Amino acid sequence: MRGFEWTEPDTITGALDAAGGQAAFLAGGTTLIDLMKLQVMRPSRVVGINRLPLTGIRVDAKGLHIGALTRMSDVAEHPEVAHAYPVIAQALLLSASQQLRNMASMGGNLLQRTRCTYFRDIAEPCDKRDPGSGCAAVGGFNRAHAVLGTSPHCSATHASDVAVALVALGATVDLRDASGTRTVDLDSFYRLPGGTPHIENALRPGELITRISVPRLPWARNSAYLKIRDRQSYEFALASAAVALQVRGRRIEDARVAVGGVATVPWRLPGVEAALRGRPPGLRTFEHATADAADGARPLTHNAFKIPLLRRTLVRALMSLEP
C-alpha cells in the first residue's frame, strides 16, 4: 500500500473541502482498502466519512430514503424495507457475508469496483485500471465476465447486487459537491465502458453520494431477487434477476425487470417489461417475454453459457412472484 494522509471530518462541508485531487473517501473500506493493498487504487489522501450525518432509513409519501452511509446489514434487516421492497432486502442478504454487510455502506456498494481478476492484478494489462494497456480478459479466463454492454476494451461485470434491485425500481442518488446537490437516476448514473472503461459513473471528483431514494411503488411488495452463483452463499452472481410485478385480475399491469452478473452495468430490461404488460402471468408469458432478453449479447471464449442462464434466471425469478 502507498502512504497517504488521513483525515476524518465531522461535517459534510469538511469532507468536501478535504476531497478532490488524489483523495478518496473511506466508508466501510471493503473495496477501497482491498484495492489499496493491491495498489489498484493509490490515493494520496484518504478522507474518512463515517462521522458524517449520512445514516438512516426513512419511508415517507414519496418513497424510501437511505442515507449513503447506512450499512448494508441495517437496510437488509429493516422491517419496512423487507415488507415494502423485498427485492432490496433479498439482494442485500444474498450479498457478501455478515461481516462485510456490517461494514459496507450503501453508497460504497454502488461504487464498488469490478471483481475482474485482471483489473485486480497490476501485473496484467487492463484498460479500466490503466487506460490504453489493453484487456487481458479477451483471450484470458473470462467465464465470469459480462456478455451485455461490453466493448473490446472491457467486459468486466458490475458486481453489486443491490444496484440491480435499485435500478429495477427506478432509484435515484443525491450527489453533493461544493456547488450543491443534484439528483441523478441510478440507471443513467452508470456508464458503459465503450472506449473509456475507467469512467464508470457520473460522479465528479470529490463529489459525495449523500442519499439513495426509491420512489413509492406499492406493488413492489410483489418483488424478488434471484442470484445464481457457483456456491450457495458468499459468492458473486453468475447471473441474477430483480423482478417486480403488478398483477390485477390475472393481467400484468406493470413490471420491473433488471439483471446482474451478466452486464458491465446493472442492466434494466425495458423490452421485457413492455412484453410482460397486458399478459396473464405464467410460464408461457414469462418465456415469451424474455425471449430477446439477451439481445446484443457478445460472449467471450468461456461465458456464452450466461446467455441461456440469464433467461432462465429471469423466468425462475418471475415464477416466484404472486400470480
Partner 1 sequence: MSPEPERPPRPARVSRRGFIGRTTAASLGAGALPRPDQATAAAAAAAAAGAPGQPLPGPPGTEVTLRVNGAEHRVGVDNRATLLDTLRERLRITGPKKGCDRGQCGACTVHIDGRTALSCLTLAVAAHEREVTTVEGLADGDVPHPVQRAFIKADAFQCGFCTPGQIMSAVALVEHGPVGSDDAIREFMSGNLCRCAAYPHIVRAVRQAGSTGRKR
Ligand X SMILES: Cc1cc2nc3c(=O)[nH]c(=O)nc-3n(C[C@H](O)[C@H](O)[C@H](O)COP(=O)(O)OP(=O)(O)OC[C@H]3O[C@@H](n4cnc5c(N)ncnc54)[C@H](O)[C@@H]3O)c2cc1C
State how far the Cα of 286 lies from the Cα of 294, in Å rounded to an integer.
Answer: 14
Query: In this structure, is the dihedral angle defined by the CA atoms of residues 137, 142, 145 and 146, taken in order, positive or negative?
Result: positive
Q: What angle do CA 15, 30, 116 make, to 5 degrees?
A: 115
130 binds, among partner 1, ligand X, none (CB under 5 to 8 A by kind): none
**Interface region with ligand X, contact rule CB under 6 A, candidates 20-28, 140-148, 189-197, 216-224:** 20-28
User: For residue 132, what is its C-alpha cell?
Assistant: 490504453
Determine how many CB atoms are found less than 10 A away from the CB of residue 7.
Answer: 15
Our finding on whether 159 is near ligand X (CB under 6 A) is yes
Cα four-point dihedral sign 74, 64, 111, 300: positive
Cell of 143: 467465464
Helix (H, G, I), strand (E, B) or coil at 304: coil
Q: Does 208 bind ligand X (CB under 6 A)?
A: yes
β-partners of residue 22 are none
Among 15, 19, 46, 244, binds partner 1 (CB under 8 A): 46
Q: Quick one: which of 9, 14, 20, 33 contacts partner 1 (CB under 8 A)? A: 33
Q: Is 5 in the site for partner 1 (CB under 8 A)?
A: yes
Residue closer to partner 1 (CB basis): 40 or 171: 40
Q: How far is CA 124 from CA 144, 150, 158, 264, in A?
A: 17, 19, 19, 19
Which partner from the list ligand X, partner 1, none does 68 bind, CB cut-off 5 to 8 Å by kind? ligand X
Question: Nearest distance from residue 217's CB to partner 1, in Å?
Answer: 28
Region 221-250 residues binding ligand X, contact defined as CB under 6 A: 236
Return residues touching partner 1 (CB under 8 A).
1-6, 8, 26, 28-30, 33-34, 36-39, 46, 48, 50, 73, 96-100, 102-103, 121-123, 233-234
Q: What are the residues binding ligand X (CB under 6 A)?
A: 24-32, 34, 68, 95-96, 100, 103-105, 107-109, 111-112, 159-162, 208-209, 236
